[in-house]
Amino acid sequence: MQVMRYFCPRLINEDGKYQSNMILKVSGKKIIGLSREYPTSTDDKYDVVFPSDSIVLPGFIDCHVHLALDGIDFNQSLGRWQDDSLWVPKVKQQLKDTLKCGIVAVRDGSDKAAIGLKAKKLMVAKPVIISCGKAIYQKGRYGTFLGHGITNINKLKQVINDLAAAGINQVKVVASGIVSFNQYGKVGGPQFDLDFFKEIVNEAHRKGLRVMTHASGAEAVETAVEAGVDSIEHGFFVKKDTLRKMSQRGIVWVPTVIAAGGRLNFNRPAENRDVIEKTVNEHLERISWAKDAGVTIAVGTDAGAPGVPHGKSFVKELRYLSQAGLTNEELIKAASETGAAVLEINQLGSLAEGKSASFIVTRDNNGGIVGMAENISDVYHQGRRIS
């Protein structure tokens, strides 16, 4: 197989450190070598020489998307689900937009039609997709568009069995409603009591499946954490004490700030701008508490939700996390290495020999990772340049 040698004036290595004059050797989809070149070398030794002011980063990872939704119109998205000729081109475009923004893997947070799972199986040129298929929620509560409503524990085993057989990678549980955008502090209530929740988590873990949990509101997040879930998604109004437990137990937080912030671009009569702003600010403060408590924070956008387009929302989430106080180094880690760990993909998350050749070429104009995410010139995924 042909070996490609890329000369990288600067590159962020495995330890998150900036390194100069690096040669990235790629064969097929993999990095087969990463070494330092000394300035005496000439350009013709390389197949590709990246511009002198460029910097190469590991591909980004979005821990929370919904491929079934387009980020603009919820009802129109739903209207496409039953017809492959309608949703396939749309999802293809979304995946393209995602890759273009440097996102080389996504975790799909489910939908009732299992579009995310179908896309994983059907689409060829795409970021790596980790899929939850259909979510588990309490029948009659929030989550009808996301998956399986269940009412009793006896059905649980069957539901998880079926999901596993369908090829899901992780289990998505909807543990609460959503945060209100017109009444500050209001959240749709918790869906499962602790015993029921523990059964869900235990059943998923018995199958070797991690549990990704939609939870907002102090009580729902606390119950999910006590039940032993693997990640908390959204987590609006999480308590300080719950964050401490998350830190101790290694439960990851995917705060999806842009899921609320993205609403500011939508002038919906039923939604109140001040409430959204206040909710966002409150959330940022909690992220700073989480950082202080040592909680592992990952980047997830909830792309597909109204006001959260696929791909370009990632940098907005990075900016929010930066506002919340995460340092540049912490952001880089959250956007790549932590994301890969959350998605259980050890081929991604950093640039090193043996890993996937999925990387971003950008410029560092002192804006740190946020600026770099805005100035992407090239994306390579599994050895191929994305055009």
From 129, 134, 34, 45, select the one nearest 381 (Cα to Cα).
129
Piece of the chain touching Zn ion by CB under 5 A; list 41-49, 193-201, 290-298, 300-308: 300-308
Piece of the chain touching Zn ion by CB under 5 A; list 135-143, 177-185, 202-210, 297-305: 297-305
Instruction: For residues 256 and 3, give the distance between their C-alpha atoms in angstroms, rounded to a whole number.
Output: 39
Piece of the chain touching Zn ion by CB under 5 A; list 25-33, 294-302, 357-365, 367-375: 294-302
CB of 55 to Zn ion, least distance (A): 31
| Furthest CA-CA distance within the chain | 70
Residues 191 and 139: beta-carbon distance below 8 Å: no
Residue 44 CB partners (closer than 8 Å, separation 6+): none
Piece of the chain touching Zn ion by CB under 5 A; list 38-46, 102-110, 128-136, 153-161: 102-110
Instruction: For residues 186 and 141, give the distance between their C-alpha atoms in angstroms, rounded to a whole number.
Output: 16
Return the sign of the alpha-carbon dihedral for residues 46, 383, 375, 336.
Answer: negative
Residue spans of alpha helices (H) in 148-209: 153-166, 194-206
CB of 210 to Zn ion, least distance (A): 16
For helices 153-166 and 194-206, give the axis angle rounded to 10 degrees.
30
CB of 357 to Zn ion, least distance (A): 30
Smaller CB distance to Zn ion: residue 26 or 69?
Answer: 69
Piece of the chain touching Zn ion by CB under 5 A; list 108-116, 156-164, 240-248, 264-272: 108-116
Smaller CB distance to Zn ion: residue 59 or 109?
Answer: 109
Would you give the binding string for Zn ion spanning residues 163-192, x where CB under 5 A is met? ------------------------------
Smaller CB distance to Zn ion: residue 57 or 61?
Answer: 61
Smaller CB distance to Zn ion: residue 254 or 290?
Answer: 254
Smaller CB distance to Zn ion: residue 116 or 383?
Answer: 116
CB of 77 to Zn ion, least distance (A): 13
**DSSP, residue by residue, 216-285:** -SHHHHHHHHHHT-SEEEE-TT--HHHHHHHHHHT-EEE--HHHHHGGGG---TTS-HHHHHHHHHHHHH
CB of 259 to Zn ion, least distance (A): 7
> Six-digit token pair at 200?
């869900």
> Six-digit token pair at 170?
């992780």
Piece of the chain touching Zn ion by CB under 5 A; list 29-37, 73-81, 188-196, 302-310: 302-310
> Six-digit token pair at 41?
């070398």
Residue from 302, 317, 364, 378 touching Zn ion (CB under 5 A): that is 302
Smaller CB distance to Zn ion: residue 175 or 360?
Answer: 175
101 strand-pairing partners:
none
Number of residues that bind Zn ion (CB under 5 A): 2
From 278, 199, 293, 295, select the one nearest 237 (Cα to Cα).
278
Residues 231 and 342: beta-carbon distance below 8 Å: yes
Smaller CB distance to Zn ion: residue 109 or 311?
Answer: 109
Contact call for residue 62 and Zn ion (CB under 5 A): no
Residue from 59, 71, 102, 109 touching Zn ion (CB under 5 A): that is 109
Smaller CB distance to Zn ion: residue 302 or 378?
Answer: 302
Residue nearest Zn ion, CB atom distance:
109
CB of 193 to Zn ion, least distance (A): 23
> Six-digit token pair at 339?
């994301």
Smaller CB distance to Zn ion: residue 56 or 146?
Answer: 146
Interacting residues toward Zn ion by CB under 5 A = 109, 302
